[in-house]
Chain A
Amino acid sequence: MTSPIPRRDLLGTAAALVGTAATLPVSEAAEISGHLPWSASAGTPPPAAPAEPYVWEFFTADEAALVGAIADRIIPADELSIGGKEAGCAVFIDKQLAGQYGQGTNYYLKGPYRPGTPQQGPQTLETFAQRYRQGLAAMVAYCASKHSGKAFIALSADDQDALLHEMEGGAFYTGPVPSSVFFNQLIQNVREGYFADPIYGGNKDMAGWKLLGFPGARYDYRDVIGRRGEKLDLEPVSLMGRPGWNPA
C-alpha cells in the first residue's frame, strides 16, 4: 500500500462522519492512473521482538504471574518440551492485548448488546483486553473463595488443573460470559504464544516448532517435495533467522 490505513483511523472516520462533517479536512482519496505504483518498503514490517528485560505493557505484575501459571498448565513443561510460561506465552499475550488485537480495532463492537444463539457467535461488546481484565479478576476471586484465600500460583499443579477444569466447564462468570468462553480464549491465545513466530514474544528458541517438526518461516520446499513420506528433520527458521546462521 502506498499509504496503509492505520486501523484506528477507520473508526475515527466513522465517528467523524456522524456529526462533524463541517470540520473535516479537505483531502482526496488516493488516485492512481497510468502506472503500477511501487514504493520501497510499502508493506508494514512485522514488529520488533520484545526487548530484554521485558516490561509489561498491559498486565499488572500479578496478572502476568497468573497468566504465566495458566500457560504452564495449558502447555506444561514435560519430557517433550518446555512449558508455556518459559516459552513466553504471557509476554506474547501481554503484547497482543496492548496492541490492535486487545483494543478490538478490527472487530465489530457496535451495540445494541443482545444475547444470541451459539450459532451467532460471542455477542459481548468488550474488547479482548477488557475481557482479560474482567476474566482474570473473576478467576482470582473464584480461586480465593475455593481455596481459603490462596492465589492460583500458590496451588499445587493438581489443584490448578482442577480449577481450570471447573473454569472450562463454566463454573463461574467472567464479566458477562461464562468462564468457559474466557477459557476458550486462554487456550487459543496460549497456543498462539507457543506456536507464533518468536518475534511476537513467545515460542522461545522455536520450542513449539521443534515439538512438532514445523520448519517455520521457510518459503521454498521444492528441494524436498519429492521425498514423500520421509522424516525430513528440517531445522526451523524464524522471520529473524535462527541461532547459528550468523557467526559470532
Chain B
Amino acid sequence: MAMKRPKADAVIIGLGWAGSLMANELTLAGLNVVAIERGGWRDTSGDFPTSMDTDELRYATRRELLQPLSVETMSFRDNPSQSARPLRDFNTYQFGWGAGGAGSHWNGMTWRFLPNDFQLYSNTVKKYGANKILPGMTVQDWGVTYDNLEPFYDKFERLAGTSGKAGNIQGVIQPGGNPFEGARARDYPLPPLERTQAAMLFDAGAKELGWHSFPVPAGNTSGAYTNPLGVHMAPCTYCGYCEFFGCGNWSKSSPNACILPALMNRPSFTLITESEVMKVNLTPDKKLATGVTYVDKSGREWEQPADIVVISAYQMDNVRLMLLSGIGKPYDRASLTGVVGRNYANQTIAGASVFFKDEHLNPFIGAGALAQAVDDFNSDNFDHANVDFIGGSNMLIHSTNGRPIGLGNAVPPGTPRWGSAWKKAYQESYQTANSIYCMGSSTPHQDVFLDLDPTYTDRFGRPLLRVTYDWNENDKRMAHFIADRSVEMGHAMKASLVVRSEPTAKPYSPMDNLSSHTTGGAVMGDDPTTSAINRYLQSWDVPNTFVCGASAFANNGGYNPTGTVGALTLWAAEAIKTKYLKSPGPLVAL
C-alpha cells in the first residue's frame, strides 16, 4: 500500500529545463508545486567545483553526470522487421540525472527554430506541391507558429543568459547575425563569445563562398549577467569542459545556475529527489489524472496527489511514462493509428573533417556553444525546386574542447589506430584538425516510432522503451547534399585535407554517437488523430496533464532542441496561468 503525501496544486515529473521553467512559472502564479526527480540534488558550487570539474575521464569518458544505464536504457532496432536489443553501453542518448537534468551537462547551443520548421507540411505543399513529400513521411504542422513563440524564446534567452548576435530585429536584417532567422523583438541579452582561430578560418571560407557566417547563440556567458530572477552569472572562461560537465563557474545556462537559486527558496515549492515516478494515476474513466505514484530511494512506494500533472522528463521518458500510464492511444505501425510514439525524429548528421598545415588551432580553448555557423542550407532558406528532398541543415565549426582521450580518432584516414605512426599523426592533428559539423533536420516517417519493448525491462521490471529508427530516404538525400556543401566549405577554408562524412550512407546506430538530439513521440498539433497533445502541450485525452519537452516536436529542425524546449514550456506555462487556471479543462475545443 502506497504512502500518501498531501495534495499539491501541480506535480512535476523531472527537474530539467522544462520542469524547472514550469515550476518557476507555476509557483510565481501562486501554485503549490511538488517536483519529483529521479536523480539527486545538484548544486553549482557544491557539485561542479572548478577544482574537480576539469576531469575528462570522469565526466566525458565515464559520463558520471548522466543517468546510469543500469537505471534505465532503451532497446534499439533499425526497422520493424528486426528484434530490438538493449543499449548496454553509453551511447548517443544523454539522459539527465539529478536536479537540472540534461540542462546541467549540455553544451549550451540555444537556437530558435526557423518559422518554416513549425509549418513544414503546409509550407511545403503550398510552395512545392504535395508530391514533394515522399510516401510514408508523416510530416505535419505543429499547431503553433514562430510568431506565437517569439516572446517565449525571448523570455528563455533572458532567463538563460544567452550570448549571440541578432540577425533580424523586427524585420531589419542585422550585419553579423543570421539573416535567415525569424524576426526577433530584440537582440540577445549578451553579445557573442570571443572567436577562435577555427571560427576565423570558417568565417573566411563562408565569405569566399558568399555564405552568411554568424556566431552560434550560446548558453555560455560572454560577460557577467544578472537574469530576470536576480540570479548572477559569471563570464565564461573558455575552459573546454562543457558537454558532459557541470559548470562550476556560473557561466553555463542551466537550471542549476539560472532557475534553481530562485525557485528553491520559495516555500510553495518542494523537490523530492532520488525518487522515480512509476506512472501517472488516472480516474477510472481515464479522463483525468489524480497525481503520480513514485518509489523513493529505499524502495518505498508513495502517491503524490495533484490537480495538474506536468510530465517533463527526458523526451524518451515522457513518451514512456505516457505509455506506462495509459495516456493517449499508442501508435500502431500495422494500422497506422494512434499517436503516442508517433513522429519520433532524430538529427540528420553530415559534414567533413578538415586538416590544416602549420596551424595552431589550440583546441583546448573552447566552450560548449563556441561555434561559427552558416544557415544558408537550413530548412527552406534555399530554393528546393531543383532538389529532391525537403528540409536542410545548419553547418558549423565548433571550438568545444581539446580533450585528449576523446579526440584520439581525429586523425587523417589511413592512419593506424595504434603504434608510433598513430602517435605522430595524433600529435600533428591535435593542433591542425577540426570538422565541419552539420546538424540536419529530421523528418518523421511511419516506420520510425517508439513503443514498449516486449522483452527487456528496467530495474523495477517495467518495459524499456523500444526505439525503431533508421534514416529515411528524404533525410538521406538531404545529408548527401549537405555533405557536398561541407566539402566546398572545407576547401574554401584552405584546408590541406578535406574528408567528406556521410553517416547516413549506412544504417543508423546509437553507438556511433552522432547526436543526442532526439525528438517527438508525443507531438503537439491541431488534430488529435495525429498528435498526442494540443498546441498548449496539453494531453488531448487527459486535460489536466501537460507534456513538456522535445517529445512535442512534430519534426526536428536543423538545430539543437533546447531553445525550443524552453520556449514551448514557457508558452504552455502562460496558457496554464492565463487560461487553464481560470477554467480547468481542454484548452482547445474539438
Interface residues of A (CB under 8 A from B): 1-5, 7, 9-11, 13-14, 16-18, 21, 24-39, 41-43, 45-46, 73-76, 78, 80-81, 101, 104-110, 112, 114, 116-124, 161, 164, 168, 187, 190-192, 195-197, 200, 208-209, 211-222, 224-226, 228-232, 239
Contacts and interface: CB of A to CB of B under 8 A. Distances in A.
B6 to A, nearest CB: 12
Contacts of B56: 195-197
Nearest to A119: B509
Contact of B405 (A46, A168, A195): A195
B202 to A, nearest CB: 12
A230 B89 contact: no
B459 A197 contact: no
A43 B47 contact: yes
14 contacts: A1-B47, A4-B40, A27-B297, A30-B274, A46-B58, A76-B420, A80-B427, A106-B68, A114-B85, A117-B78, A119-B509, A121-B509, A191-B405, A213-B431
B297 A232 contact: no
Interface string B511-528: 100000000000000000
Contact of A10 (B272, B300, B459): B459
A100 B63 CA distance: 12
Contact of A121 (B39, B89, B275, B299): B89
A239 B52 contact: yes
Interface string B182-210: 00000000000011110010000000000
Interface of B: 39-43, 45-58, 61-63, 68-71, 73, 76-78, 82-91, 98, 194-197, 200, 235, 237-241, 249, 260-261, 264-267, 269-275, 295-300, 302, 359-362, 364-365, 402-405, 408, 417-420, 423-424, 426-427, 430-431, 455-457, 459-461, 507-511
Given A29-B275, A108-B87, A17 B299 contact: yes
A224 B238 CA distance: 10
Contacts of A7: 68, 70
A165 to B, nearest CB: 10
B255 to A, nearest CB: 12
B46 A219 contact: no
A156 B170 CA distance: 72
A108 B47 contact: no
Contacts of A10: 68, 70-71, 459
B273 A30 contact: yes
Contacts of A221: 237-240, 364-365
The 5 residue pairs across chains A and B that have the minimum distance between CB atoms? A42-B46, A14-B459, A29-B296, A119-B509, A116-B85
Nearest to A42: B46
A11 B70 contact: yes
B402 A29 contact: no
A45 B417 CA distance: 33
Given A214-B364, A218-B54, A1 B299 contact: no
A110 B457 contact: yes
A226 B199 CA distance: 12
Contacts of A224: 362, 365
Contact of B404 (A24, A35, A118, A214): A214
Contacts of A109: 70, 88
A10 to B, nearest CB: 6
A21 B3 CA distance: 14
A81 B82 contact: no
B241 A42 contact: no
A219 B236 CA distance: 10
B52 A43 contact: yes
Tell me the dominant secondary structure on chain A's binding face: loop
A217 B54 contact: yes
B507 A119 contact: yes
Given A74-B418, A108-B88, A119 B511 contact: yes
Contacts of B269: 33-34
Contacts of A81: 423
Contacts of B62: 101, 106
Given A18-B461, A121-B91, A209-B404, A225 B82 contact: no
Nearest to B361: A229
A212 B40 contact: no
A7 B286 CA distance: 37
Given A36-B264, A228-B200, 16 more contacts: A13-B459, A17-B299, A30-B272, A32-B273, A35-B264, A35-B265, A117-B78, A117-B85, A121-B509, A123-B85, A212-B427, A218-B54, A218-B239, A221-B365, A225-B365, A229-B359
A81 B424 CA distance: 10
A107 to B, nearest CB: 5
A191 B407 CA distance: 10
A134 to B, nearest CB: 17
Nearest to B399: A225
Given A121-B89, A213-B431, A31 B270 contact: yes
Contacts of A230: 360, 362
Given A1-B40, A107-B89, A239 B54 contact: yes
B567 to A, nearest CB: 26
B64 to A, nearest CB: 8
B85 A219 contact: no
Contacts of B196: 225, 228
A17 B405 contact: no
A78 to B, nearest CB: 5
B88 A107 contact: yes
A169 B302 CA distance: 53
A197 B57 CA distance: 8
Contacts of A18: 461
Given A191-B408, A214-B404, A226-B194, A32 B41 contact: yes
A107 B272 contact: no
Given A217-B54, A221-B364, A231-B360, A107 B239 contact: no
Contacts of A219: 50, 53-54, 237, 239, 241, 249
